[in-house]
Amino acid sequence: MSEHDTGPGEWPTVRVPVEPVQAVMEADALDAAARHSGLAVRGPLFGVAAQDQDAGRRWQVTVEVTHGCPQQARDALNSLFWFRAKDEAKSRQERRALLAAVARLEKEPVDELTVLGTRYRVVRAEEYAAVDSRGGIETPRPTDPEPLTPDWSPAARGPLVDDGLALDPDAPLSPLQAAERVALRPLAYSGTRFPAPVLADSARAVESHPDVLLMPAAFLIVERTEDGPWSPGSGLQATAHDARRTLDFALTWMEPRLRGLIPHDADRTVDARRPPAGTTDEAATALKAFAKAADRLRAGRCDEVEAHGTIYRIARSRRLLRWGPDGPEGPRPSDTSAHTPTALHPPLDEDGAVRFDRSPDDDPAS
C-alpha cells in the first residue's frame, strides 16, 4: 500500500456547473432523477484496472468492466499481456516479465499482480439501472453522447466501453453527482433470493469499501413480452446509437434467421428489408413487421419498438465501483466463475516468436 492509499480520502471538490453544456447535463440528470427514482440492480460485472507507481489514488481501466465473471476478466488480462509480449515488448527482460504474468494467469485465479512496476487488479462493479414507479427502465437522456452522423452499417464500429477511462475518486463532482454518490454508499443486497454468503459479502463490502465511484453510463438492449420482466438482449455499448445499431441488426438479420423466416445459409446481404427470392407470403408479412420496427429506429432517436409481441428498449445502464483505502474493490469470495484458468495462446519464446511445436507447460517463462 502506498502513502497515497492510507484511507478513503477527503471528499472531492463539488462544483456547480456554469459552462452551458455542463449546466444542461446537470439539469437533464435532475429531470431524470425525478422521473426514475428507483433502482434495479442486475448484479456484478468485472474488468481490470491498473495503477502506476506515481499515480496517487488514480487507476486506469485496462480491461473493460463488462465481463460476467472474474475469470473472464482474468482471461482478458492474460490476452493483453500475451499480445504485449508478442508485439510490443522492447527487450527480452520485458518479454520475460509479461510471459511470467501470462504463466500465472494460466494456472491461478489471481486477482492482483504487479508487472513491470504497474499494479493490475481485477475489479468488481455493480450494474444497475434507474426505474420509474411502474418498473420502466430509464432510456438514454437527451444529453447522452450521440454521433453527428449515425452510421447504421453492420460493419460500423463505435467507441469501446471504458476505453481510456481513468478511475479517480478525487475528481471534481457536480452537486447531483455528489448526491448520487452519497445515496449509493449504503447500497447492499437484501432479500431471500440471495444466498447467505452473498448477503454477508455485500454487507462486509459496505464497511471495507465505504466509498463508491460512479462509472460513465453505458447502453444495452432490454426486452420483454407482454407484462413479463425486462431481460437483457445485448451486451453493453458505449453509446445509445451503438445499442440501436445492434438492435437494428438483430431485428433485420438475426431474428429472421432464428425464427426460420430466412434460411441460415442465405446470402449474408439478405435480411428483413431484402427478403430472399421464394419467400412465402406468411414469412414476408412477418419480415415486414421486423423491418418496420427497425425503420423506426432509423427515423430518429427512437428508444423503444415492438415486433411480434416483444417490446425492445434501449436502456441506460449504470455501474458503480466500491472504493476502499487501497482502491477499487476486487472480486468477493461469493463471486463465482463458470470456468477455471487455462492456457489461451500458444507459447512465445524470448524473442517473441510463436512456438507451435511446444505446449504451454514448456514455456520458459513458466
Reported as a single tens digit per residue, the pLDDT across 56-83 is 999 999 999 999 999 999 999 999 999 9
Average pLDDT over residues 5-12: 55
pLDDT at 340: 97
Contact between 62 and 49 under an 8 Å Cβ cutoff? The reply is yes
Which of residues 349 and 222 earns the better pLDDT score? 222
Q: What is the pLDDT of residue 3?
A: 38
**Sequence letter at residue 302:** C
- Amino acid identity of residue 143, one-letter, is T
- Distance CA(339)–CA(106), nearest Å, equals 12
Q: What integer pLDDT is reported at residue 122 of this predicted model? A: 98
Residues 6 or more apart in contact with residue 161 via CB below 8 angstroms: 64, 65, 66, 218, 236, 237, 238
Nearest to 8 by CA among 330, 318, 329, 320: 329
What pLDDT score does 350 carry? 87
* Residue 8, pLDDT above cutoff 80: no
pLDDT at residue 226, rounded to an integer: 84
Residue 84 banded pLDDT, cuts 50, 70, 90? very high
pLDDT for res 304:
97
pLDDT at 363 over 60: no
In the numeric block, which cell numbers belong to residue 75?
A: 482471461
Q: Is the pLDDT of residue 15 over 80?
A: yes
Report the pLDDT averaged over residues 264-272. 94
Q: What is the pLDDT of residue 160?
A: 95
Residue with cell 510490443: 88
> pLDDT-derived band of residue 266, with 50, 70 and 90 as boundaries?
very high
What pLDDT is recorded for position 360?
A: 60
pLDDT band at 293 (very low <50, low <70, confident <90, very high): very high
142-191: per-residue pLDDT in tens? 999 999 899 999 889 889 999 999 999 999 999 999 999 999 999 999 99
Is the pLDDT reported for residue 364 higher than 60?
A: no
pLDDT above 50 for 40: yes
What integer pLDDT is reported at residue 357 of this predicted model? 73
What's the rounded Cα separation, in Å, for the pair 33 and 306?
Answer: 26
Q: Is 313 exposed, middle or buried (0-12, 13-18, 19+ CB in 10 A)?
A: buried
Residue 16 has pLDDT above 70, yes or no: yes
Given a cut of 60, whether residue 4 has pLDDT beyond it is: no
- For residue 358, the model assigns a pLDDT of 67
Tell me, what's the pLDDT at 355? 85
Q: What's the confidence (pLDDT) of residue 154?
A: 86
Cα–Cα distance between 29 and 26 in angstroms, integer?
A: 5
Q: Give the whole-angstrom CA distance, residue 238 versus residue 162.
A: 8
% of the chain at pLDDT higher than 70:
95
The pLDDT value recorded for residue 362 is 60
**What pLDDT, on a 0 to 100 scale, did the predictor assign at position 227?**
83
Give, in order, the Cα–Cα distances in Å from 21 to each of 144, 179, 202, 292. Answer: 11, 20, 37, 35
Mean pLDDT of the chain: 92
